[in-house]
């Protein structure tokens, strides 16, 4: 069995463990920094919304012999402003402008055809009105809200409301950081991006449910004992699912990376890039949140329950008692002698005599040290008789 397999077995048996729950303050600080940066970048830079959301016109020039600069200057001569021009690969040039009327639209097509030496009929034109873009935005928000509501209901029924709350915190964490990365990189947000975000939410939820299912299994009836706390049992469950989460993430990331490299990089499929980047970011962030955010937050709110709090007190008290018993077993004579001395006192000039029975002391554990007798010498019988 390889090193990875040995680590998996040790994590599952509890011989080795990463302290996910105990170091939750550290994970909270990391997540808080990422969330603050994401929100700050989003407020400062905003999102690069595609034409489907804000309306406008998109012109696709195939087999273009012109450069991005040539296409931008040609379109700007008609529009009076500089449009957004990108090269999507395989000789395709994409020109995005504000909403245009019919006459201006035809003029842009003719200008691009002349500048790029292609037939006007081969240039694809997509015109989207602002009303339709606003409707798409509204539908995307509605889909996200409905998804979150259904997730909450499902988790509350299958687990409990505390696990549902922890899963929602992880989902919001994933969405905000993903949006922040899009704002930072300037990647365009399209309907494919929305589909990708909804997909990664489902992936993140799946990973969290796997972890929570193991937590539920390991903590069933935990208040009936006093050996481990809820946090320790939950941390063991996270370690037991760690290798599975890593394997799932790797196998999910490989085809996404193939889409980015082959689909977008080689074939020049821009829509695939929009979808794949959202999936790649979401898989990475979702794996992190399912291990470092959701379980620690769950333990934090569970420990506010009276029965879980009482369990923690019992476990600590039992361990303290076991520690004292272990010390007494390691040196029973010394430990009991110290206990007896403390209870009955000593006198340096007189022989120590117990004043009263010592209760609670197991005399089988007392070490008796043999020494010379200290009784006074008696007069021999012959001398006593002669004197008498």
Parse the chain into domains and list their residue ranges: 20-49+132-309, 56-128
Statement: 56-128 belongs to CATH 3.30.70.3400: yes
Residue 339 has pLDDT above 60, yes or no: no
What pLDDT does residue 17 have? 74
Residue 337: Cβ within 10 Å count: 14
Average pLDDT over residues 169-174: 91
Round the average pLDDT of the chain to a whole number and report it.
77
Question: Comparing 260 with 205, which gets the higher pLDDT?
Answer: 205
Note the pTM of the prediction, 2 decimals.
0.71
Q: Name, of 39-48, 71-80, 271-280, 368-377, the range with top average pLDDT.
A: 39-48
Q: Considering the domain 20-49+132-309 in this protein, what is its CATH number?
A: 1.20.1640.10
Residue 243 has pLDDT above 80, yes or no: yes
Print the SS3 string covering the chain.
Answer: CCHHHHHHHHHHHCCCCCCCCCCHHHHHHHHHHHHHHHHHHHHHHCCEECHHHHCEEEEEECCCCCCHHHHHHHHHHHHCCCCEEEEEECCEEEEEECCCCHHHHHHHHHHHHHHHCCCHHHCEEEEECHHHHHHHHHHHHHHHHHHHHHHHHHHHHHCCHHHHHHHHHHHHHHHHHHHHHHHHHCCEECHHHHHHHHHHHHHHHHHHHHHHHHHHHHCCCHHHCCCCCHHHHHHHHHHHCHHHHHHHHHHHHHHHHHHHHHHHHHCCCHHHHHHHHHHHHHHHHHHHHHHHCHHHHHHHHHCCCHHHHHHHHHHHHHHHHHHHHHHHHHCHHHHHHHHHHHHHCCCCCCCCCCCCCCCCCCHHHCCCCCCCCCCCCCCCHHHHHHHC
What pLDDT does residue 354 have? 45
Residue 221 has pLDDT above 70, yes or no: yes
pLDDT tens string 141-166: 888 888 888 888 988 888 889 999 99
Alpha-carbon span 104 to 108, nearest angstrom: 6
pLDDT band at 186 (very low <50, low <70, confident <90, very high): confident
pLDDT band at 338 (very low <50, low <70, confident <90, very high): very low
What pLDDT does residue 336 have? 39
* Candidate from 137-141, 167-171, 182-186, 278-282 with smallest mean pLDDT: 137-141
Residue 362 has pLDDT above 90, yes or no: no
């Amino acid at each position: 069995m390889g090193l990875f397999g040995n680590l998996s077995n040790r994590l599952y048996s509890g011989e080795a463990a990463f302290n996910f729950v105990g170091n939750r303050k550290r994970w909270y600080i990391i997540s808080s920094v990422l969330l603050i940066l994401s929100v700050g970048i989003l407020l400062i830079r905003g999102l690069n919304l595609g034409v489907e959301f804000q309306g406008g016109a998109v012109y696709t020039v195939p087999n273009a012999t012109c450069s991005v600069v040539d296409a931008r200057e040609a379109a700007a001569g008609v529009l009076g402003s500089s449009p957004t021009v990108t090269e999507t690969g395989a000789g395709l040039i994409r020109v995005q402008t504000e909403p245009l009327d019919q006459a201006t639209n035809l003029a842009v097509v003719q200008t691009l055809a002349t500048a790029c030496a292609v037939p006007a009929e081969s240039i694809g034109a997509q015109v989207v009105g602002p009303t339709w873009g606003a409707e798409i935005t509204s539908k995307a928000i509605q889909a996200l809200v409905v998804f979150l509501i259904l997730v909450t209901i499902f988790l509350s029924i299958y687990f409990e409301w505390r696990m549902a709350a922890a899963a929602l915190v992880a989902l919001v964490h994933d969405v905000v950081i993903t949006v922040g990365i899009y704002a930072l990189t300037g990647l365009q947000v399209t309907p494919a991006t929305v589909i990708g975000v909804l997909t990664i939410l489902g992936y993140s939820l799946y990973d969290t449910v796997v972890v929570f299912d193991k937590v539920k299994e390991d903590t069933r009836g935990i208040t009936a004992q006093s050996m481990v706390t809820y946090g320790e049992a939950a941390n063991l469950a996270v370690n037991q699912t760690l290798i599975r989460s890593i394997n799932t993430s790797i196998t999910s990331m490989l085809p996404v990376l193939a889409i980015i490299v082959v689909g977008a990089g080689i074939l020049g499929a821009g829509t695939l890039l929009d979808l794949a980047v959202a999936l790649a970011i979401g898989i990475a962030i979702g794996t992190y949140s399912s291990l470092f955010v959701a379980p620690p937050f769950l333990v934090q709110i569970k420990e506010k329950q009276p029965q879980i709090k009482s369990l923690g007190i019992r476990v600590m008290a039992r361990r303290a008692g076991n520690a004292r018993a272990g010390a007494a077993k390691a040196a029973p004579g010394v430990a009991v002698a110290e206990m007896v001395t403390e209870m009955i006192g000593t006198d340096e000039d007189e022989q120590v005599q117990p004043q009263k029975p010592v209760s609670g002391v197991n005399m089988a554990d007392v070490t008796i040290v043999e020494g010379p007798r200290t009784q006074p010498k008696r007069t021999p019988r012959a001398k006593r008789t002669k004197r008498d």
